[in-house]
Every structure is written in C-alpha cells, then in structure tokens.
Amino acid sequence: MTNYNKNDPATIRKMFDSIAKQYDKTNAIQSFCLHKYWNRAFVDKAIVPTKPEVLLDLCCGTGAIAFEYLKKVQKPMKIYLLDFSEGMLECAKSYAKNQNLDQHQLRFLQADAKTIPLLNNSVDCATVAYGIRNIKDHHLCIKDVYRVLKPGGSFGILELTTPTHPFLKYAHNLYLKHFLPTIGKMATSNREAYQYLCNSIQSFIPPEQLKNEMREVGFYGIRQHSLLGGIATIIIGMKTI
C-alpha cells in the first residue's frame, strides 16, 4: 500500500503519473459529469472576461481547462500548461495533437507550481483547477502566481470544497468516505490514489481562508462563486495595477 502525502511531493507526482490515463474518465464517473459544468463555469468566470493574450494553467492535468477555453476563442493564443506530473502532461500533449490547435502557441512545462519558470509580469491570467490543495505549500504558489502576473492580471482557482449546509455537508462526507473510493477502485487499479484525493478535499482549508491568503499576497477585488451548494468553489482575484 502506497502512502501518498503532499508533504512528500515525489509520492504525489508518482500518484498522478499512475492515474493519468484514467483521470478524465474517472472524474466523469465520480462527479456524474458535473466537472464538465464546473470547468465551463470556471472558464466563463475566470478567463473569458479577461481576454488574455497569455494564459498560464497550473496543475493543468490533462489540459481540460486550457482546451475548454480554446473552444471559445478565434484568435491565436499563447498558453502555458504547467504540471509536475510527466504522465499528465503527456496526456495533455496527446490531446493537443489530435485537436488541430496549430494556430496556438502551447508550451508544456513540467515544473513545480511554487517556482514557476516564467518571468515577472509575463502572464495576463493564471488558473489552477482541482490542484491547489495538492501543493505542499500553496501559499508559496499564490505568491509566485502574483509575481508572474502582469499588473491588473487575474488569478482564478477552482477547487473541490466542503459544503457549509449541515445536510449537504453530511451527504458530501458520506460520498467521500464510501462512494468515491469504491468508484475509484472500479475505474482504476490505484485505489489508494483516490482515497488520498478524498482525504485531501476534507482536510484542505475553507474558501474564506484561501481568500485571506490571496489578500495577504496582494490580490484585491476577490470574489467567490459557490457551485452546487459549495461542493466546488471558484475564487478569482486581481493583481494590483
């Protein structure tokens, strides 16, 4: 049995490498395809209004957020897709090759989200979906995002969260503890990986604390959008001009 621990990033990288090829399929099963709605809502609220010329998608996984955005644009875009899992990036690259995206500049970066290999003030918009809770020190990630954003740039976070309503919270807890690990076992051979992902949702900080950490770094105009009663949450902040 593998002990996955975000304080030991090497184990988390190994975990995502092991589930990369089944990741999208399993997410669809686990979320009853709601993740597609959440992704579209995230793109519409966090990216589309900014009309970025340069987009950075952190913890990009198989590229779902970046590719969802490219469905909505006509002009050529420059997008950095960053992930520390080689397996996830290979899936994203494979998808891009099959989608006639030659007009866009796609750059795949295998790197740590806490030390982004980009210049200061070089990105119009940054996003991270379902990934910030897996970063060993997410506060350092927020600080580095602030560094690479251009003045007036935006940072959007989409994360799975715990509802505050007592009934929803109870049902959500049952789902994470019993249903999700079972589905994970059926969809992939790595049951421990999905047990870790369930635990990481329950143990991660609430949205209010995440917003406070963004304010401490310098983000302003921070707004929050709760999805399906708070099962998922979108947070968006702006870098000062």
Q: How far apart are the first and last CA of the chain?
A: 49
Closest Cα partner for 197 from 181, 178, 183?
A: 181
**pLDDT tens-digit profile of 136-165?**
999 999 999 999 999 999 999 999 999 988
Instruction: Report if residue 4 sits inside a domain.
Output: no
Tell whether pTM > 0.85. yes
Mean pLDDT of the chain: 90
Instruction: Report if residue 2 sits inside a domain.
Output: no
pLDDT for position 30: 66
- Is the pLDDT at 188 greater than 80? The verdict is no
Instruction: Report if residue 51 sits inside a domain.
Output: yes
- 62 vs 88: CA distance, rounded Å: 5
Residue 215 belongs to domain with CATH number: 3.40.50.150
Residue 160 in contact with residue 139, Cβ under 8 Å? Answer: no
State how many domains the chain has. 1
Q: What range defines the domain where residue 121 resides? A: 9-238
27 against 188, higher pLDDT: 27
pLDDT for position 195: 77
Instruction: Report if residue 54 sits inside a domain.
Output: yes
pLDDT for position 74: 86
Encode 155-191: b = buried (16+ Cβ within 10 Å), e = exposed.
Answer: bbbbbbbbbeeeeeeeebeeebeeebbebbeebbebb
Instruction: Report if residue 23 sits inside a domain.
Output: yes
Instruction: Report if residue 138 sits inside a domain.
Output: yes
- Is the pLDDT at 97 greater than 70? The verdict is yes
Q: Among the listed ranges 95-109, 191-205, 218-232, which one has the minimum average pLDDT value?
A: 191-205
Instruction: Report if residue 102 sits inside a domain.
Output: yes
Residue 239 in contact with residue 155, Cβ under 8 Å? Answer: yes
**pLDDT tens-digit profile of 63-78?**
999 999 999 998 999 9
pLDDT for position 29: 65
Instruction: Report if residue 1 sits inside a domain.
Output: no
